[in-house]
Amino acid sequence: LVQVVESGGGLVQEGGSLRLSCTTSGFTFDEYSMAWFRQAPGKEREGVGCISWSGGMTGYEGSVKGRFTVSRDNAKNTLYLQMNSLKPEDTAMYYCAAAYTNGGDWCSLNREYSYWGQGTQVTVSR
């Protein structure tokens, strides 16, 4: 049974920080690239950042570059998203997703992801 569970969301003031975690089970974590997506009310889902299976490659959406960092711990089957300098426009439900790469050490926000979590809410107040 594949499980993908996000945690760490909450309410934070503008300029603050949060660290999201995504714990996984039921698939071989280090054979998958991983990514964070988000969806705000009334808006389409968008990619935030991705990381290759080894962690050697990362990619970010433009508005979060320099503020957000995606990392992973393959020994713990866990993905992280460190979010700094948060802005009200970062308010959204954040989702973790996994994509099989057949050994390729790359990631992309513009590809299909197989496994998704239920999301964790991040709210940034002014």
pLDDT tens digits, residue range 88-116? Answer: 999 999 999 999 999 899 999 999 999 99
Tell me the C-alpha distance between 2 and 99, whole Å.
13
In this prediction, residue 66 carries a pLDDT of 97
Grouping H, G, I as helix, E, B as strand and the rest as coil, residue 36 is strand
Q: Which residues of the chain carry a pLDDT beneath 50?
A: none
pLDDT for the residue 103: 85
| Backbone dihedral region for residue 103 (phi beyond 0: left; psi -120 to 50: alpha; all else: beta) | left
What is the structure's pLDDT at 94?
Answer: 98
